[in-house]
Amino acid sequence: MPSFERFPTARLLAIKPPIRRLGRIHLSLYFSFVIAFCFSGCGLLRDSVPAGPNDTTASYHDDFGLNIAYPEVDAIQSDSREEIATTIEPFSFEDPSELPNIEISLHDAVRKALTSQPVLRRAGSTFNARVTPQAVTTRFDPGITAASQQGTEAALSAFDAQYRQQLTWSKSDTPRNQQQAFGQPSVLDADSAFFNGEISKTTATGASFALRHVANYRKSNQGVGDTFDFRLFPSAFTGWLEAEWRQPLLQGAGTEFNRIAGPNARVGQYNGVLIARINEDVSLADFETGVIQMVADVEQAYWNLVTAYRLLNTIVKAREAALQTWQIQKARLEVGTGRADDEAQARSQYYQFDAQVKNALAGQAGLYESEQQLRYLIGLPATDGSLIKPTTEPTDARVIFDWDSALSQALKRRVEVRQQKLLVQRRELELTAAKLNYRPRLDFLGQYRYQGIGDHLVPGFYENLFDGNYQEWQAGIELSYPVGFRAAGSAVAHAKLNLKREHAVLEQTEYQISHLLSNAARDVETRHELMETNYNRLQSDLNQVDVLRIRYQQGSDSINFLLQAQRQVVNSASDFYRSLSDYNLAIRNFHREKGSLLAYNHVQLAEAAWAEAASDSAYHVGRYLTPRKNPKEVTAPKNPSSATFNPSEVQSTQSALGESTQQD
């Protein structure tokens, strides 16, 4: 690399610059020093200023940067609800028969779960290690969507009238390159003010109307003392009042485009009223999905509790029978007619059943845990000294569904299908708007203006303005378009692909629902057959126990057969009660896959009562709205939510092919 000494000219300039540039270099060095000082911050002072006599080694800020700053959570107070504050110590092995009962039916449990609190709880949430508050569904979610920037009110706000105003004052004291007396430059001394006020409105056809008023005030020394000073007033008010109308003729024109994409929408962006309405309907579908899930969880917890009660009762009876057998065998052993191994077997089986009783009472999936799970879903305290007792008996009657009508209902009633059809409608609207955007921008522009002037604002300027002596107008068209329409063509292609995707997802959704419904229908039949089989098995085991007990008491048979028969009774009874619960849950699953779970549980969805101010506002607005005389002749985009649907309506008996069938 060449050394610096090979460039003596450059070294000379760096060491000894010309005298005529000395002042500029000093000035540049000064600014460089200031900039370097500012960017160095406190580090320059820290490195250059020595420690004072009162400085200490320890500092309050030594570890401040390493500490974690936590939010002031105590500043947000939340009042504990009654079901939280009244919670007492949980049950462990208390006798359920000695506790007060809260009798509740399945219908009441569902109603209480849906009306007790605004959060739709999910089964198992109480025992999860993690809590995710953002993932829950609440009653406020549809309203939040409606009140957000994705709702209809935000979309309608694009058509609101807009008012803009500007008012400024200024003072000018500008020297000019003109010589006056004593070699001084002439000075332009002026006072001015500017006012601009405008109110504009965009209509559903894309047209924009504006009423604009401009007023200027000017007072200056320009021309004062000149020989040819032709000014009418030394200080004057000038301005105009104009009306403007801009009407798109191609791109951005028509109610269809503006209701889909919104006024002045960019290519590929769709935020119109119809899109916002679909957003709200999708949010309602999400809320309905949460309600369906909660109803299914409540029914699951209810039948689990019914099963827990019956399993506990079965094992308690088995323990009592085992205790009786043990006492008989113990008495025989004491009188010398029994065997020690038989007594040990009877004693072992008693303790085995005793352990099963404790596990069925307070263990995992036991009575107390199942009862607390139902308590959580319906909004009761975790423990309040009482015990929920179900009163609705599970059905064991054979339920027969008509397959054709069930499939037809599933393809129409399922919330997933309705939600996906809304998304298909949205993509269809977006494609329509994209095609309408695939045109040049051609606008008609018309303006009409009144001019005025005066030495005073009132009455001079405004009197002259409203006399109408000075009128102007302008009319014409404006044309603009991107050569090639690449962005618009890409938006059309994107909208077509989105529409094809949503159609494919809709077909897959219906295809999957048909499989799920088929599996649910098979499960109903299977669970009923298993329930009948387990019932027959239970009756056989009970008869066997009765026979073996008599033979054992008579001493004609070994105790082993009786103990084994008692265990078989417990197993067969447990299997029967579980299969009975599974059969009722299978019926629930079939209704869920068919889309009639809410109707099956008598649940209706409705909008909450309006606030008094909202009702009054709707009444006053409705007074100025009248029905169209010929609504069919009006060309307007179809409302995507014009149809009505009630999840709790009477179920249709029409097949998927449109044929009427008889519902069993």
Q: Give all domains of the chain, ordered by start, each with its CATH number.
A: 97-143+280-333+351-390 (no CATH), 160-273+440-484 (no CATH), 403-427+488-601 (1.20.1600.10)
Reported as a pLDDT band with limits 50, 70 and 90, residue 402 is very high
Q: Using CA atoms, how far apart are residues 437 and 268, in angstroms rounded to an integer?
A: 9
What is the value of pTM for the model shown?
A: 0.79
Reported as a pLDDT band with limits 50, 70 and 90, residue 661 is very low
Q: What is the 3-state secondary structure (H, E, C) of 44-96?
A: HHHHHCCCCCCCCCCCCCCCHHHCCCCCCHHHCCCCCCHHHHCCCCCCCCCCH
- 110 CA to centre of own chain: 24
Strand-pair category, 441-454 with 119-120: unpaired
Of 247, 244, 254, the closest CA to residue 207 belongs to 247
Widest distance between CA atoms in the chain: 151
Of 24, 27, 99, the closest CA to residue 383 belongs to 99
Of 399, 653, 648, 407, the closest CA to residue 513 belongs to 407
Most confident of 70-74, 174-178, 258-262: 258-262
CB 662 within 8 A of CB 653: yes
> What distances in angstroms separate CA 258 from CA 109, 255, 266, 571, 640, one per listed residue?
48, 5, 12, 69, 15
What token pair was written down for 254? Answer: 């028509």
Reported as a pLDDT band with limits 50, 70 and 90, residue 530 is very high
> What pLDDT was estimated at residue 664?
39
For residue 169, give the H/E element and its range. strand 162-179
Q: Using CA atoms, how far apart are residues 170 and 178, in angstroms rounded to an integer?
A: 23
- What mean pLDDT is predicted for residues 378-395? 90
> Quick check: helix, strand or coil at residue 401?
coil
Positive/negative CA dihedral, 325, 331, 336, 340: positive
**Residue 211: φ, ψ to 5°:** -120, 120
What token pair was written down for 394? Answer: 């599970």
CA dihedral 608, 612, 617, 622 (to 10 degrees): 70
Q: Using CA atoms, how far apart are residues 593 and 521, in angstroms rounded to an integer?
A: 9
Lowest-pLDDT choice from 341-345, 391-395, 494-498, 552-556: 552-556
> Quick check: helix, strand or coil at residue 603?
coil
CB 478 within 8 A of CB 445: yes
| Segment 463-491, tens digit of pLDDT | 888 988 899 999 999 999 999 899 999 99
For residue 172, give the H/E element and its range. strand 162-179
> What pLDDT was estimated at residue 488?
92
> What pLDDT was estimated at residue 76?
67
